[in-house]
Amino acid sequence: MSVIVKICGLREAEHVDAAVEAGAGLTGFVFFEPSPRNISIAEAAALTARLPAGVRKVALSVDAGDDFLSAIIDGAGVDTLQLHGAETLERVRHVREKFGLPVIKALPVSTVDDVEAAQPYEAYADMLLFDAKPPKDATRPGGNAESFDWTLLQQAGFRVPWLLAGGLTPENVAEAVRISGAPMVDVSSGVEDAPGRKNTRKIRDFIAAAHSG
Is the Cβ–Cβ distance between 193 and 199 less than 8 Å? yes
Contact present, 130 and 164 (Cβ < 8 Å): yes
Tell me whether residue 137 is one of the annotated catalytic residues: no
Give yes or no: 114 in active site: no
Measured N-to-C along each axis, helices 66-75 and 89-99 cross at an angle, to the nearest 10 degrees, of 40
Per the CB < 8 A criterion, the answer to whether 158 and 119 are in contact is: yes
Beta strands of 10-117 (E only): which ranges? 26-30, 56-61, 80-83, 103-109
- What fold is seen in the domain 4-212? TIM Barrel (3.20.20)
Task: Tell me which of 74-78, 85-89, 157-161, 198-202 is least confident.
Answer: 157-161
pLDDT of residue 1: 55
- At 141-153, the pLDDT tens digits run 545 467 899 999 9
Vertex 154 angle, CA 148 and 160, to 5°: 100
- DSSP state, residue 185: E
> Which residue among the candidates 17, 79, 131, 205 is catalytic per the annotation?
131
| Helix, coil or strand: residue 61 | strand
At 52, is the pLDDT very low, low, confident or very high (cuts 50, 70, 90)? very high
In the 8-state DSSP scheme, what is residue 122? G
Q: Which of 8, 63, 113, 114 is catalytic?
A: 8
Domain residue spans in the chain?
Answer: 4-212
Give pTM, 2 decimals: 0.93
Contact criterion met (CB below 8 Å) for 213 and 182 = no
| Span 75-122, pLDDT tens digits | 999 999 999 999 999 999 999 999 999 999 999 999 999 999 999 999
